Amino acid sequence: MHVEVRGLNKHFGDFHAVKDVNFSITKGHLIGLLGPSGGGKTSILRMLAGLETPDAGEIIFHGRAVNNLPPQERGIGFVFQNYALFKHMTVFENIAFGLKVKKASKTAIRDRVMELVELTGLKGFEKRYPHQLSGGQRQRVAFARALAPEPQLLLLDEPFAAIDAKIRQELRSWLKELIERVGITSIFVTHDQDEAIEVADEIMIINQGRLEQKGTPWDIYKEPKTPFVATFIGESTLIENAAELKGFTGIGGGKPTKALIRPEYIEIGSLHEFKMASATEQGIVKHLHFRGSEWLVEVEVKGHKLVTYRSLEKDTLQPGQDISVLVHRAYLFNDDHSWIQENGLKEDPMPVFI
């Protein structure tokens, strides 16, 4: 289903939970609403479902405004954070609920439920009650129950939050695969960026009720549009005055400009390893942390602590060691705007051809 949202606003008392949110979602896409807790993601999802009424704005499904439609008539499936399974019904009855309400025939209900039981790998559990299932199984039941009446849009509120880390990983790929197979437009809420990046076709970053950026995970990572997105996605170090860094002098036209530097923007090593030695800074290795597959290195450059990763294949560094640091690029921002800046000294200003 094609979903469009225009000028959405929601207040809870004095709290402005959702501020003027606009977006549109292409049919069949899997969208992640990502942002810190209390940022308004769940409110947006609940308004799409009709469980909450917007103060202003329009919600349009298939070109038709649904603001005045109750949740019963929106053709959506909703998976709650704690699944909200009907605890006095068996797995079968839970999944069959939506079909029974729609007065489907007994055999149609049976066929559809068995199909979903098969699809979600719950075969053999039909007669169990929710309290006899594990967290992962409950999530599958919630998912099957939401899918049973063949909704056009699937909404998932923190679908993996209540599941332990190991199973969460499995469920993520399972869910992504399943949604692709069913081909249903889906929106899920999460505060976990790894989850959003791994599962979603497109991410919408929501912060303090505002939609900060919408795009593919790669686009958002590569080109964050706002400082919040830059800090929220990936790791980064903040430098208060970017002009202090070599290769970034004179940026921002003299205005105070801050820089965010990602670990992968930084290269460290001994001086002779760099092609353009003049672009490097001198730093001191402060700390080394073993991260399983690589070293996390903290280096101090002109009083700033920068963080980068270093391959285990390279020489092992020692704390206190002098080292050359090259900052390839930085995400810069000031009060007016923000942009990505390459190190100005990296390109040889006077290439000499021998």
Partner 1 sequence: MRNLWIGLTYLIFFLLIAAPLGKMTMSAFSQGFGGFWDALARPEALHALMMTGFVVIVVTVFNTLFGIMLALYLVRANWIHPRLKGLLNSIVDLPYAVSPVIGGLMIVLLLGPDSALGALFENMGIKIVYAFPGMAIATLFVTFPLMVREVMPVLQEIGSQQEEAASTLGAYGWTTFWKVTWPSIRWAVIYGVILTVARSLGEFGAVLVVSGNIMNKTQTATTLVYQDVENFNVTAAGGVALVLAAFSVGLLLLMEWTKRRKEVH
CB 119 within 8 A of CB 43: no
Give the binding range for partner 1 (CB under 8 A) out of 37-45, 54-62, 77-85, 325-333.
Answer: 77-85
Under rule CB under 8 A, residue 51 binds partner 1: yes
Q: Read off the tokens for 72.
A: 């019963």
Q: Which of 222, 184, 219 is nearest to 203 (CA)?
A: 219
What is the closest distance, in whole angstroms, from the C-beta atom of residue 58 to partner 1 in the complex?
20
Choice between 145 and 262, CB closer to partner 1: 145
Task: Report the residue from 68, 72, 293, 311 that binds partner 1 according to the rule CB under 8 A.
Answer: 72
Choice between 34 and 148, CB closer to partner 1: 148
What is the closest distance, in whole angstroms, from the C-beta atom of residue 322 to partner 1 in the complex?
59
What is the closest distance, in whole angstroms, from the C-beta atom of residue 71 to partner 1 in the complex?
5
Task: Report the residue from 34, 39, 78, 323 that binds partner 1 according to the rule CB under 8 A.
Answer: 78
Choice between 10 and 258, CB closer to partner 1: 10
Under rule CB under 8 A, residue 88 binds partner 1: yes
Q: Which of 215, 214, 202 is nearest to 22 (CA)?
A: 214
Task: Report the residue from 97, 232, 248, 265 that binds partner 1 according to the rule CB under 8 A.
Answer: 97
Under rule CB under 8 A, residue 71 binds partner 1: yes
CA dihedral sign, ordered 262, 248, 224, 347: negative
Chain positions 284 to 313 lying near partner 1, rule: CB under 8 A, are none
Side-by-side strand order, sheet with 76-79? 76-79, 153-157, 185-190, 30-34, 202-207, 210-215
Task: Report the residue from 1, 60, 69, 84 that binds partner 1 according to the rule CB under 8 A.
Answer: 84
Task: Report the residue from 15, 62, 86, 347 that binds partner 1 according to the rule CB under 8 A.
Answer: 86
Task: Report the residue from 3, 47, 49, 266 that binds partner 1 according to the rule CB under 8 A.
Answer: 49
* HEC assignment per residue over 184-248: CEEEEEECCHHHHHHHCCEEEEEECCEEEEEECHHHHHHCCCCHHHHHHCCCCEEECCHHHCCCC
Query: For the CA atoms of 95, 96, 99, 105, what is the dihedral angle to 10 degrees?
Result: 150
Q: Compute the radius of gyration of the chain from its Cα atoms.
A: 25
Under rule CB under 8 A, residue 76 binds partner 1: yes
Give the binding range for partner 1 (CB under 8 A) out of 71-79, 259-267, 306-314, 321-329.
Answer: 71-79
Binding mask 127-146 for partner 1 (x = CB under 8 A): ------------------xx
Size of the site for partner 1 (CB under 8 A): 26
What is the closest distance, in whole angstroms, from the C-beta atom of residue 52 to partner 1 in the complex?
10
Under rule CB under 8 A, residue 85 binds partner 1: yes
What's the rounded Cα separation, in Å, for the pair 32 and 205? Answer: 8
Task: Report the residue from 102, 127, 255, 291 that binds partner 1 according to the rule CB under 8 A.
Answer: 102
Number of residues that make up the chain: 354
What is the closest distance, in whole angstroms, from the C-beta atom of residue 184 to partner 1 in the complex?
14
Residue in the block written with tokens 């063949």: 150
Under rule CB under 8 A, residue 149 binds partner 1: yes
Give the binding range for partner 1 (CB under 8 A) out of 34-42, 65-73, 312-320, 331-339.
Answer: 65-73
What is the closest distance, in whole angstroms, from the C-beta atom of residue 51 to partner 1 in the complex?
5
- According to DSSP, the residues that pair with 269 across neighbouring strands are 324
- According to DSSP, the residues that pair with 296 across neighbouring strands are 289, 309
What b/e string do you get for 133-165 counting C-beta neighbours within 10 Å, with b at 16 or more?
bebbbbbbbbbbbbbbbebbbbbbbbbbeebee
Relative to beta strand 153-157, strand 185-190 is parallel
Residues that bind partner 1 (CB under 8 A): 49-51, 70-74, 76-78, 80, 82, 84-88, 97-98, 101-102, 145-146, 148-149
